[in-house]
Amino acid sequence: RVERWLASREGGVQVLYKVIGIGVAVWLLLLWAGFSRWVTERLLRRASALSRILKKFLLQLVYWLNFLIFGLVLLAFVGVNVTPFFAIFGGISFILGFALQQTIGNLASGLMMMVLKPFDTGDTVKIAGTSGQVDEMSVVSTRIRTADNQIITIPNSMIWGDVITNVSASAIRRVDLVFGIDYSDNASHAIEVLEDMIKTNPLCLKDPAPQVFVGELADSSVNLYCRPWVKREDYWTVYWGLTGVVKERFDAEGISIPFPQQDVHFIAK
């Protein structure tokens, strides 16, 4: 009986045809989904205004939508009743809407960030109390790589509901440095020394012009504000470089850097 069923057109042969048909249909489905993603990728290359994060999301969305829609079409074509699938999807969506409210909030925040582009992958940002480089972003969460190579994953709702600082947004940045000198030192001479160090530093830009001035008369020192402009990628090089070199130059010029101190007077009664 098994042999007769396997050899009959209404039995095993028909099942074999269906299996082959489903295999070919799945192969065509994958081929079509990949082709649609390739076409979408070529079209998105012309949209320079869109962020890399949004482009990646749109590619995945097009791929899975094509996979889902044409998958249902192929199932209906081979004789499968697809009507129950819609009822199942509706019930699952209703349940998930209540169970995953926080996730839906993250999804909405992720879509807003993809459209408005407060930052992109590769940017250095300060978000949700964390500083680092945007390593990867999805519609639900954002992954930050800190300076000491820690990976921090932050839900998008926490980012969108907080202040977002994009350090990499501008091509140039201002380096804010403060150097304290003693009250007995000549402030004008110290300013000239700082200006000369900025002029001789090839990483400091001449336009915008740097600023060096007396910014504060503190308790134990006269604080000089030193504000050169640099390219974004040279920020920390100039910040750390000037800080170390100024100490050596001040020592050579006889300019002292005071430490906090108090004078205590005893009055005899």
Higher pLDDT among residues 154 and 82, named by residue: 154
Distance CA 224, CA 149 (A): 34
Confidence of residue 53 (pLDDT cuts 50, 70, 90): low
- pLDDT tens digit string along 183-230? 889 999 999 999 999 999 999 999 899 999 999 998 888 999 999 999
pTM: 0.60
Predicted confidence at residue 51, as pLDDT, reads: 63
The per-residue pLDDT of the chain, averaged, comes to 80
Q: For a pLDDT cut of 90, what percent of the chain falls above it?
A: 26
Name the pLDDT band for 79 (thresholds 50, 70, 90). low
pLDDT for 187 equals 92
What is the residue-wise DSSP string for the chain?
-HHHHHHSTTTHHHHHHHHHHHHHHHHHHHHHHHHHHHHHHHHHHT-TTS-HHHHHHHHHHHHHHHHHHHHHHHHHHTT---HHHHHHHHHHHHHHHHHTHHHHHHHHHHHHHHHH-S--TT-EEEETTEEEEEEEE-SSEEEEE-TT--EEEEEHHHHHTS--EETTSSSEEE--EEEEE-TTS-HHHHHHHHHHHHHH-TTEESSSPPEEEEEEE-SS-EEEEEE-EEEGGGHHHHHHHHHHHHHHHHHHHT---------------
Q: Please say whether the beta carbons of 238 and 228 come within 8 A.
A: yes
Q: In what side-by-side order are the strands of the sheet with 151-155?
A: 151-155, 141-145, 130-137, 124-127, 165-166
Burial label for 118, CB within 10 Å (0-12, 13-18, 19+), is middle
pLDDT in tens, 6-20: 666 666 666 666 677
Sign of CA dihedral 25, 27, 31, 37: positive
Question: For position 172, what pLDDT does the model report?
Answer: 92
Inter-CA distances, 268 with 259, 264, 265, Å: 29, 13, 10
- Predicted local confidence at residue 9, as pLDDT: 64
**Taking a C-beta distance cutoff of 8 angstroms, is the pair 25, 78 a contact?**
yes
The tens digit of pLDDT for each residue in 145-188 reads 998 899 999 988 888 888 889 988 888 999 999 999 998 899 99
**Residue 118: is its pLDDT beyond 60?**
yes
Rounded CA-CA distance 61/67 in Å is 10
Instruction: In whole angstroms, give the CA distance from residue 141 to residue 172.
Output: 29
